[in-house]
Amino acid sequence: MPALPKSLTAAMADTVEQVEAAVDVLLPKADLREARLYEAMRYGCLGGGKRLRPFLVMEGARMFNVNPACALRTAAAVEFIHCYSLIHDDLPAMDDADLRRGRPTVHLQYDDATAILAGDALLTFAFEVLADPETHEDPQVRCRLVTGLAKAAGPRGMVGGQMLDLIAETEEFDIGAITRLQRMKTGELIAFSAMAGGILGRASPPQLHALQAYAHDLGLAFQIADDLLDVQGTEAETGKSVGRDEGANKATFVSILGVERARDQARRLADQAAAHLDIFENRAEMLRQVASYVVDRKA
């Protein structure tokens, strides 16, 4: 496995730092009686995470010369949605997970009720951030961001995918059904992340379409790699509980395709994702490298 290029590693590390700072500034932290809510929101959003979705937002925005401050607000909004979904997903009533990013999950660190509310608050706050004139001066662009994020995160996107994920615990899912589940559960938000920079930069429809196609293949490659990590990774490497899918007897890409074919498929999807970016020529080099990163990562 080739080492990842220095430039990507450095760029991703930069984004992690920038997003951490932006999230810190955006999230409320007043010393009020409800401070516990703010603390749980911060705990669920700060201190770890690859920030893949924010990186896609930032890189997409860079290609269209978007003001980085605007891109960063959009990146933070996407991360709020991602983090809320992790908080709710980890609840005892859902996946009942103890560990996330190497730390106790939000409901263990606080309590179930606070975790539910912190998730609700992050979800709501994401839209407040996007609709704010500081995110973009053109309200038409802000409305497109709100629409895109709401569709990606809502019943026809992420939440619908999570419902399917629960149903997959008791019903048989074939490869087509698993693919649809994963496209909804993680693919739509990754696709929005890749397109958000284009929306901010008023990209042309063919450009947006290329970004969407890239992100769809990237999202699927990402998910197959996640399934492989669940089978082959360690808790120390991944910072979260592993072996959960097998324990739950849940169909995954790996359980259906086997390790070798799943790995081949992830590689193929990553190559295909990169190929969609041809129209951007050199400008998309970083996004192409992310595709390799996604299948070669250890966490």
For binding to its own copies (CB under 8 A), which residues are involved? 28, 32-34, 36-38, 41, 84, 88, 91, 93-94, 111-114, 116-117, 119-121, 123-125, 127-128, 130-133, 138-140, 142-143, 146-147, 149-151, 153-156, 159-164, 166-167, 171, 177, 184
Q: Least CB distance from residue 159 to its own copies, whole Å?
A: 4
Burial code (b: 16+ CB inside 10 Å, e: under 16) for 112-132 equals eebbbbbbebbbebbbebbee
Q: What is the DSSP letter of 100?
A: E
Please say which residue, 143 or 299, places its beta carbon nearer to its own copies. Answer: 143
- Cβ 230 to its own copies, closest distance in Å? 20
Q: Which strand (E) or helix (H) includes residue 131? A: helix 112-131
User: Taking the complex as a whole, how short is the minimal distance between the CB of residue 271 and its own copies, in angstroms?
Assistant: 30
Nearer to its own copies, 21 or 166 (CB): 166
Tell me how far, at minimum, the Cβ of 54 lies from its own copies, in Å: 19
23 versus 274: smaller Cβ distance to its own copies: 23
262 neighbors 224 (Cβ within 8 angstroms) = yes
- Gap between the Cα atoms of 132 and 113, Å rounded: 29
* In the complex, minimum distance from the CB of residue 141 to its own copies, in angstroms, rounded to a whole number: 8
Q: Checking phi first, is residue 249 left (phi over 0); if not, alpha (psi -120 to 50) or beta? A: left
Structure tokens at 238: 């991944």
Distance CA 161, CA 111 (A): 25
Give the dihedral of Cα atoms 146, 152, 156, 159; nearest 10 deg.
Answer: -110
Nearest-CA neighbor of 100 among 55, 36, 44, 180? Answer: 44
Q: Which lies closer to its own copies via its Cβ, residue 97 or residue 149?
A: 149
Distance in Å, CB of 107 to its own copies, minimum: 8
Nearest residue (CB) to its own copies, 120 versus 271: 120
Choose between 48 and 154: whose C-beta lies nearer to its own copies.
154
Q: Which is nearer to its own copies, 119 or 201 (CB)?
A: 119
Residue 68: DSSP 8-state: H
Cβ 243 to its own copies, closest distance in Å?
Answer: 21
200 and 74 Cβ atoms separated by less than 8 Å: yes
What is the residue-wise DSSP string for 258-296? -HHHHHHHHHHHHHHHHHTTGGGGGGGHHHHHHHHHHHH
